[in-house]
A and B are shown apart, each in its own frame.
Chain A
Amino acid sequence: MGNKKESGSTSRRQKSRDRAFLLFTAPGFLLYLFFFITPVLMGIYYSLTDWDGISKKYNIIGLGNYVKIFRTSQFMDSLIFTLKYTILLVVFTIVLGIIIAMLLNRKIKGKGFFRAIYFIPAVLSSMTIGLIFNKLCYYIIPIIGKALNIAALSQNPLADKKLAMWTILFVNLWQGLCIPTLLFLAGLQSVPTDLYEGAVLDGATSWDVFRYITLPFLLPVVSVVFVLTLKSGLMVFDYIMAMTGGGPGSATRSVAMLIYKHGFTQNKYAFSIAEAIVMGIIVAAISAAQIYFTDKKKAV
């Protein structure tokens, strides 16, 4: 009898707790449903139509837009460019971010000054930076290139099919490195100094210290920076829009630029939504792989 009473009371407590959890979760869930899930479902619906963005009437055309995506090489070319750009952006951001953070973490004179100077680009908009570098690339780079007798830099590098991507990448890194560096700097400061002292006493080399002490402490930050940079690389738009407009030809046209072109300049809205959904699936697959490997690492 007593047990029954106890179990009834536990069940009531459980139900009340569940209700509280539900009430706390509901606002977040409803916001997510309204602002994320609904647009995605609407996007999937519109991708199955021939809507031009203006007409109030449209027809359901099934998977026609998805078939059309691969009618020309445009989407694949843009996808290859975007993936190449993203890989380079991720690698350079992590490698340079760690190097700069380590330099800024040293006991040097004017450390505060260097740190402040280094973070100035972060407060400027990427569009503004793109436009500034646009002018530098036309007026300044060729002068330097000619003075140093470097043929590749004796003209605007943004006009060269091979150099344009590297120039955009450089500008993106110039601004985009600030936040990852800040995160790495915070990560470095969490490393206990006695570990370094012990390692030095044991005769560890600088590389050993980095590999076996610094890097393991930085790995969680690396994971965060990886995800943030991956996202910004796959969705790159503003730097390209400001600096090359996707050119020369289509040499720097990212998938986001292609989606913009088809949607806003050609009124192929439903088609551009289909392209966005295909891109979304690719991003989801990459993210899933990243989560899988991160989890595996944690388990080890």
Chain B
Amino acid sequence: MEELTAAFCEENPGVKIEVVSSDDARTVLQTRAASNKMPDILNSYPAEDFYKNMFREGYFEEITDQDYLSKVNSTALGMTDCDGGYYAVPMSLSTYGIYANMDVLNANGIESTPATWDELIEDCEILKANGVTGFLLPNKDIGNVAQRFERTAGIINNDSDSEFQKIADGEMEAKDSPTLQTWCDYNEQLLNYTVEDHMGMDYDIAAAEFSNGNAGFMLSGTWMLATVRQNNPDANVELFAFPHPRGEATKVPVNVDTAFSISSTCADKEIGLKFLEFMTRQDIAQRYCDVDGNVSTIEGVEYNIPEHAAMKTAVDEGNIFLTAVNFWPNGLREEIRDCCQTFLGDLDRDTFFESAQEAIETIYADNQ
């Protein structure tokens, strides 16, 4: 990003851009918005309700009439629509699935990534029999647990929101929810193939172990490739679609991962708009895509990441769905994650369903 902003500054003498990144961007953004110190240009997640509310409240500049939006893939652009207007240029889509360490699989006689749930379990059995960890599940990392729940609950039921709404309305109990039951089932299965201390494992530790060939599979999204390469530049990995645990057809969850916006308090809106145009140029978007690792949404950009070939195919074929966090009421993921983590530690279904029921009822009531 710093290289690209430097290129922009060179093209526009007198312009200076300071790049600031944060692990907890949403918190930083909220505090800056509250103190009226929004950054001039920022990365937003325009498909999420939280950002859409900010668009509606006038924190961002509307860019609906900008010509360069025509360079953006129409499906991706459609995901960012807010009441018929646009406030961000979506640059890339992240996809979520299972990373396979091909060197580990090949060394154990497995030639290709599994296409079905049963094949995945078979592969894990082979690895287990050979004394190799099948799956890495960093269950100490509550943020990762929350994300895994949200992404895979969405795969199990692309319309999980409707099912949870029924629970909130008293039309269904959490213990009877097919989505929650399947989520428990598949996790119970995968826990047979993970490390003994999975409840003590953080995401970064798991990513390092996976990159260094200490496990066969790990759930994550396209953003993990940069970490894998950093940990082990020679790692031979592939990302494939998470097979539906009940054997049904599976779709890949996607999210708009990078989208540039300008704030309504931007010191020089003309320069801000010029920067968005700059980022949508094919050569610049290509440079960004090559480093970012996510699927580019800018027309004409080639996706040269063989590790993610299966994801690119899924996007091209439209075998994707916008991930659940964009539809769930604000805060559900953060509310339900505690009981998910507890379940992964004790496998107590009764307590899980009871806590999930309370979490769903509370959040849906708060967001009415």
B364: chain A residues at CB < 8 Å are: none
Q: Are B330 and A53 in contact (CB under 8 A)?
A: no
Q: Tell me, rounded to whole Å, the shortest Cβ–Cβ distance linking B332 to chain A.
A: 9
Q: Does B33 contact A (CB under 8 A)?
A: yes
Q: Does A66 contact B (CB under 8 A)?
A: no
A244 to B139, CA, bound (A): 11
A246: chain B residues at CB < 8 Å are: 142, 338
- Stretch among B147-155, B186-194, B199-207 lining the A interface: B199-207
Given A54-B53, A54-B54, A265-B334, CB of A72 within 8 Å of CB of B358? yes
Q: Tell me, rounded to whole Å, the shortest Cβ–Cβ distance linking A279 to chain B.
A: 20
B140: chain A residues at CB < 8 Å are: 138, 156, 158-159, 244, 247-248
Q: Are A142 and B331 in contact (CB under 8 A)?
A: no
Of B30, B200, B201, the residue contacting A53 (CB under 8 A) is: B30
The interface bits of chain B over 35-68 (1 if a CB of A lies within 8 angstroms of the residue's CB, else 0) are: 0000000000000001001100111000000000
Of A56, A134, A155, A264, the residue contacting B30 (CB under 8 A) is: A264
B205: chain A residues at CB < 8 Å are: 135, 138
Q: Does A105 contact B (CB under 8 A)?
A: no
Q: Are A249 and B202 in contact (CB under 8 A)?
A: no
Given A247-B142, A249-B345, CB of A266 within 8 Å of CB of B197? no
A137 to B199, CA, bound (A): 12
A266 to B366, CA, bound (A): 10
Q: Tell me, rounded to whole Å, the shortest Cβ–Cβ distance linking B321 to chain A.
A: 24
Number of A-B contacts (CB under 8 A): 91
A52: chain B residues at CB < 8 Å are: 53
**Chain B interface main SS type:** helix
B358: chain A residues at CB < 8 Å are: 72
Q: Does A115 contact B (CB under 8 A)?
A: no
CB nearest to A139 among chain B residues? B205
- Give the number of chain B interface residues (Cβ < 8 Å): 36
Range of interface residues on A (Cβ < 8 Å) = 20 to 34
Of A54, A55, A159, the residue contacting B200 (CB under 8 A) is: A159
Of B33, B54, B196, the residue contacting A155 (CB under 8 A) is: B196
CB nearest to A253 among chain B residues? B338
CB nearest to A56 among chain B residues? B57
Q: Does A245 contact B (CB under 8 A)?
A: yes
Given A55-B53, A155-B200, A156-B197, CB of A248 within 8 Å of CB of B345? yes
Of B30, B50, B196, B342, the residue contacting A249 (CB under 8 A) is: B342
Q: Does B12 contact A (CB under 8 A)?
A: no
**Chain A interface main SS type:** loop
Q: Tell me, rounded to whole Å, the shortest Cβ–Cβ distance linking B364 to chain A.
A: 12
Q: Are B200 and A138 in contact (CB under 8 A)?
A: yes
B334: chain A residues at CB < 8 Å are: 261, 265-266
A135: chain B residues at CB < 8 Å are: 205
Q: Are B330 and A267 in contact (CB under 8 A)?
A: yes
Q: Does A298 contact B (CB under 8 A)?
A: no
Q: Are A245 and B143 in contact (CB under 8 A)?
A: yes
A250 to B359, CA, bound (A): 13
Q: Are A54 and B141 in contact (CB under 8 A)?
A: no
A266 to B57, CA, bound (A): 17
The interface bits of chain A over 235-255 (1 if a CB of B lies within 8 angstroms of the residue's CB, else 0) are: 000000000111111100100
Q: Are B141 and A245 in contact (CB under 8 A)?
A: yes
Q: Does B27 contact A (CB under 8 A)?
A: yes
Q: Are A248 and B141 in contact (CB under 8 A)?
A: no
A123 to B189, CA, bound (A): 46
CB nearest to B140 among chain A residues? A159
Given A249-B345, A250-B338, CB of A54 within 8 Å of CB of B33? yes
The interface bits of chain A over 140-178 (1 if a CB of B lies within 8 angstroms of the residue's CB, else 0) are: 001000000000000111111100000000000000000
Chain B stretch 187-242: residues in CB contact (< 8 A) with chain A: 196-197, 199-202, 205
Q: Are B199 and A245 in contact (CB under 8 A)?
A: no
B50: chain A residues at CB < 8 Å are: 54, 267
CB nearest to A155 among chain B residues? B197
Binding site for A on B (CB under 8 A): 26-27, 30, 33-34, 50, 53-54, 57-59, 139-143, 196-197, 199-202, 205, 330-331, 334-335, 338-339, 341-342, 345, 358, 362-363, 366
Going nearest first, the 9 A-B pairs with the smallest beta carbon separation are A156-B200, A266-B331, A249-B342, A159-B199, A159-B200, A265-B334, A245-B142, A155-B197, A250-B338
**Chain A to chain B contacts (Cβ below 8 Å), 15 pairs:** A54-B33, A54-B59, A55-B53, A138-B200, A155-B200, A159-B140, A159-B200, A159-B345, A253-B338, A261-B334, A264-B26, A265-B26, A266-B331, A267-B331, A268-B331
Binding site for B on A (CB under 8 A): 52-56, 71-72, 134-135, 137-138, 142, 155-161, 244-250, 253, 261, 264-268
